[in-house]
Chains A and B, each alone.
Chain A
Amino acid sequence: MVEWWLTESRPEPMIQWLGVRNLTVRLWRTTSTVLGIGAGASLFLTVVLINQSVLQSYRESLEALTGRAELVVTPDASSWMPEELLSKIEQVPGIAHATPSVQTMAKITWADGNFARNGAKASLITGDSLEFLNSTSHILLARSFAARNGLKVGDTVTASTPTGAKSLTIRGLLPEGGMAKAFGGALAVMDIDAARKTFAFDGQTSRVDLFLKAGTSPRQAQARVSTLLGASFRVEEPAERVDNFQNSFRSFQALIEFLAAVGLFVAWVLVAGTIHVSVTERQGELGILRAIGASPMQILTMILGESFWLGLLGGGLALAASFVFSHAMLGTVVAALSAQALLKIPEPQLHLPLVQAFEFLLLTATGAAIAGLFPAWRATRVSLLASIEREQPHAAAEAPWATLAAPVPSLIAQMAIQNVVRRPSRTSTTVGLLATALAFVAVIEVMTGSFEKTLSARFDHTLTPELVIFGQGKGRPDQRQTLHEGFVDELRGLPGVRGAYGRRLLPIRYEGREISLISLDDMGVETGYRVLDVVDRPREQAGIELYSSPDFTVLVSESFRNHFHKSTGDFLWLAAPMGNVRARVIGITTDFSSPNGALYTSRAWYRKIWKDPLLNGIGIMVQEGHGTTALQTTLRSRYALSRNVVVLSDREYRNEVQGIAAQAIVYVKSLRWAALFIALIALFNSFMVDIRERWQELGLLRAVGMSPLQMMAMLVFEALLKAAMAVILGLGLGLGVAWFGLTNFLTTRLGWVFHLHFSWQAPALCAALAGIVSILAVAIPAFKAVSLEVSLALAEL
């Protein structure tokens, strides 16, 4: 017999209103859940927002610099092209005119009252054909920059150049917009011939802007000019050029992206945990709903709807929070990225397009709904009886490991341990939440530690000269003011100098990617060629071959080998100003100057092929018996001002480089605080629910004579036990991810080889943080528990 109640089908009504009611009535719980989700989501959004804004700002700078040219020609193989090529380009059909320029970085200082003040840390001086500026000492400055620094037309500034300090007079101001937007206005413009003279670019050009005749398409012109110039030059549209430029901080990007991905996952786990906790708390209520006729589908959609709303609210909160966080962190990030990229990046405006904000909200809400899926599904499946009638599963009391607690002398500790083992599902939620956050901390700690350790180890076994000389500027050697090789000869003649050696880093292209070409003067076999850091054969042997082979030889970095699959014994072709040259690979070395790879060669060969007299740094070996400090003082007093250089001891140099690395890492490190904050809220939720669930039990304990202090001790001890479990789990997980990140992700993305470095610091930090976070999280719930009215708690029995 078929019954009406089975066959009469009505559409199943949704009971979303009940879910919404749950959110509005339990405001306190909703707030803490939204806070947890918001914190998790903002961790992710902050990273995205910062990356995006900084990249945008960088891009705008580059675009402003590229100007209105339709095509840009740059030499592929070196920083310069011979001047005579210009007239050839101008004869190409379709080209209206071609404007050459040279670009370099120089520090500018000026007198401000009685004080010499540092102005632009790294200003860009671009030479252009500006007839009215035909004096070698005239420049234009961006109006905004001049205004900011109290400079006006007619003032004199001092610029550091490869041959020493030069006085320059401001003859005019660039109007707002256009080129003056580049680098936040920190740039100066001067006549090209003046620039060539001042900055030792004898007859060279670093860039040609092409303007086309009406009716000529950029593609056509590009093809024609490319054919004319051959493979050693790049002819690009401005947009392509910007893309290529951005590769220069791919390394940093890759690290951040990796951490953002891990962060996204961590955030999601924490969000999922928070929702899981809030659903578990209502298990009994859901059981009642099922008993009075709610279908699994109704329960499922109700919880998914609730999670969706929680996610939406949390996403909204995250949106606001990440603007605050990003704003606070922006300065650090810009500094770190400016040190990574070749140019100063102006501090960007935080900007999130509306569509993206909407997408983010949707993502958070959907993410939360997905996170609610599992607990919702469990809620529909849970035995109705277990959830309605029984406080705890029957089996729990007989858990075999419950006896584990027996040998512990203190009753309080014993009870705490019992609670931890007897309620495996609650324990695992709490431990899982904390462990995830700790794993994130461990990943950051181990990865940045490995970075720093690898860097300092490299210094330990390669740093040879006792003193180093650089041009003014901050950051990597290739971002500083270049020096002229004549300076090396001068230094060699000084008393106390045993040897002076030049080093040049030239960014060149190989198979379409930017790599570093590093050339070094021969430091002599008696140094054991430590500086070369050859990893696949004896260094001495490799050094001798590099400096005394009759053919052109190079060392390739590990990253180069990983990207281009060239190693010892292979040959490679490099595009040089005079045509292609063949290089023989004689060894593998370690280098971190470019993520794509680096080549090392002797400066004698480099000089011959690239005809470049400039240097990025000079190393000095001190004569025996002559004090290093004494020589440093002498060199400083002699050249610091006249040549505008810094003279550093090996220790100072090392500290400076490590300082730059540390700066880049600050941003990454600050992410872990965000992760811990989310964990704190998530744990707080979890402890709160835990204590709610044990309300009667706790009331009973108080009723039979447990003092508030004893109860507090028991709850805190429980929290610490869970924290200890989380530390072990989190460390294991974190080490695994860090190991994967270092050996797989970074090596394949960047080619750099880092060695996993694990010190006691990571576990110590994790343990300390876990302790602090769990005590903070348990404080309020425990306080609530000890201050509960015993009669009230028992009344619920």
Chain B
Amino acid sequence: MLLKVESLSKTYETSSGKPVSVLSDINLSIDGAEFVTIMGPSGSGKSTLLQLIGSLDRPTGGRILVNGADLSSLDEMGRTLFRRRKLGFVFQAFHLIPLLTAEENVALPLVLDGTSRGKALERARALLGGVVGLGQRGKHRPGQLSGGEKQRVAIARALIANPDLILADEPTGALDSATSGEILALLKSLRSEQGRTILMVTHDETAARYGTRIIRLRDGRMVADGKPA
């Protein structure tokens, strides 16, 4: 079992003093090489769930186990290493570092982990030229790339450390339908050809069909878990 979520809950303290329950009692098991999509109305807690699994935030209750290791038992450095070595993030707003060129952006996670810059850039170039198909754009800054191109760079960045799990929060939310299709096909191939596990939040039923499994949330609870229609 790659990922196991056990009775996970998240409550926010608001300034008025009333706690707001955003997620409650989420149980979930995900095996290797699955492409899971998470759907649900706005405010149902999809992003929150993804962020908890990505250890960007700490749950109020329950556990998250990755390969059997409990995330909540990790200290700050452990969580950092988890994100650095085991996870790839893809965001709706791309979130590339504007200072760096496309290939530098892609290389960054490796550089952070101690790989020499030359080696990391070499890997980044290979990745950009290979799976994501952006070979000629490596020297461009994010500001000079289109939305679809930016998202490809972001996906390459998520892949470079060779992670088991890729978390994507509405990766096509800012793209037109043709570009969305390309990005989704790319994600799909990552699972089918490289055997990676993908957890993707989306609003789009068509997008959800690229996945192997759909989880639905409503008001912070899981209401469905099954194969796409």
Contacts and interface: CB of A to CB of B under 8 A. Distances in A.
Interface string A182-203: 0000000000000000000000
Contacts of A292: 83-84, 89, 108-109, 112, 157
A288 interface: yes
Interface of B: 12, 14-16, 47, 51, 54, 56-57, 66-69, 74, 76-78, 80-87, 89, 91, 95-100, 108-109, 111-114, 117, 157, 161
Nearest to A13: B114
A384 B80 CA distance: 12
Contacts of B98: 285
A716 B67 CA distance: 57
Nearest to A298: B112
Contacts of A296: 76-77, 80
Contacts, number: 99
Given A3-B69, A292-B83, A292-B84, 19 more contacts: A3-B67, A6-B82, A17-B117, A21-B100, A285-B97, A288-B95, A288-B97, A291-B83, A292-B89, A292-B108, A293-B113, A294-B80, A295-B81, A383-B57, A388-B56, A389-B47, A394-B14, A398-B15, A399-B15
Contacts of A13: 111-114
Given A21-B99, A292-B157, A296-B76, A5 B82 contact: yes
A18 to B, nearest CB: 7
B114 to A, nearest CB: 4
B78 A6 contact: yes
Nearest to A289: B97
30 contacts: A1-B67, A2-B69, A3-B66, A3-B67, A3-B69, A5-B81, A5-B85, A6-B69, A10-B113, A11-B114, A13-B114, A15-B112, A21-B100, A25-B99, A289-B108, A290-B80, A291-B83, A291-B89, A292-B83, A292-B112, A293-B87, A294-B112, A295-B81, A295-B84, A298-B112, A383-B57, A385-B56, A388-B91, A394-B12, A395-B14
Contact of B109 (A293, A384, A398): A293
A704 B74 CA distance: 48
A385 B161 contact: no
A618 to B, nearest CB: 76
A623 interface: no
A12 interface: yes
Contacts of A3: 66-67, 69
Contacts of A295: 76-77, 80-81, 84, 112
Given A6-B74, A298-B112, A383-B57, A293 B97 contact: no
Interface string A452-477: 00000000000000000000000000
A343 B108 CA distance: 66
A18 B99 contact: yes
B143 to A, nearest CB: 11
A398 B80 contact: no
Contacts of B99: 18, 21-22, 25-26
Nearest to B108: A292
Contacts of A298: 112
A291 B16 contact: no
Contacts of B84: 292-295
Nearest to B78: A6
Contacts of A389: 47
Contacts of B74: 6
Contacts of B112: 13, 15, 289, 292-295, 298
Contacts of B113: 10, 13, 293
The majority secondary structure among interface residues of chain B is mixed
A394 B91 CA distance: 20
A296 B99 CA distance: 20
Contact of B114 (A5, A10, A21, A290): A10
Nearest to B95: A288
Nearest to A397: B15
Interface in A1-39: 1-3, 5-6, 10-13, 15, 17-18, 21-22, 25-26
A394 B22 CA distance: 14
Interface in A358-404: 383-385, 388-389, 394-395, 398-399
Nearest to A3: B69
Nearest to B115: A13
A768 B57 CA distance: 47
Contacts of A21: 99-100
Interface string A272-295: 000000000000010011111111
A665 B86 CA distance: 66
Contacts of A288: 95-97
Contacts of A6: 69, 74, 78, 81-82
Enumerate the 10 nearest inter-chain pairs by beta-carbon distance, A residue then B residue, closest first. Answer: A293-B84, A395-B15, A5-B85, A10-B114, A384-B56, A295-B80, A288-B95, A293-B83, A13-B114, A1-B68
B80 A5 contact: no
A412 B153 CA distance: 42
A385 B22 CA distance: 15
B14 A398 contact: yes
Contacts of B157: 292
A384 B57 contact: yes
A290 B77 CA distance: 11
Interface string A490-504: 000000000000000
Contacts of A18: 97, 99-100
A294 B15 CA distance: 30
A15 B111 contact: yes
Nearest to A291: B89
A356 to B, nearest CB: 36
B89 A5 contact: no
Contacts of B117: 17
Contacts of B114: 10-13
Q: Which of B54, B66, B76 has the most CB of A within 10 A?
A: B76
B14 A293 contact: no
A293 B57 contact: no
Nearest to B16: A398
Q: Which of A5, A6, A17, A25 has the most CB of B within 10 A?
A: A5
A625 to B, nearest CB: 82
Q: Which of B47, B78, B97 has the most CB of A within 10 A?
A: B97
A385 B55 CA distance: 10
B80 A291 contact: no
Interface string A288-313: 11111111101000000000000000
Contacts of A22: 99
B183 to A, nearest CB: 19
Contacts of B82: 5-6
A291 B54 contact: yes
Given A6-B69, A10-B113, A384-B56, A293 B80 contact: yes
A11 B112 CA distance: 10
Nearest to A380: B76
Contacts of B86: 5
Contacts of A385: 51, 56-57
A388 B95 contact: yes
Contacts of A12: 114
Nearest to B92: A389
B210 to A, nearest CB: 24
Contacts of B111: 13, 15
Contacts of B80: 290, 293-296
Interface in A588-639: none
A1 B56 contact: no
Contacts of B68: 1
Nearest to A285: B97
A17 B56 CA distance: 25
Nearest to A396: B15
A28 to B, nearest CB: 13
B140 to A, nearest CB: 14
A190 to B, nearest CB: 74
Contacts of B57: 383-385
A6 B80 CA distance: 10
A70 to B, nearest CB: 67
Contacts of B97: 18, 285, 288-289
A586 B69 CA distance: 88
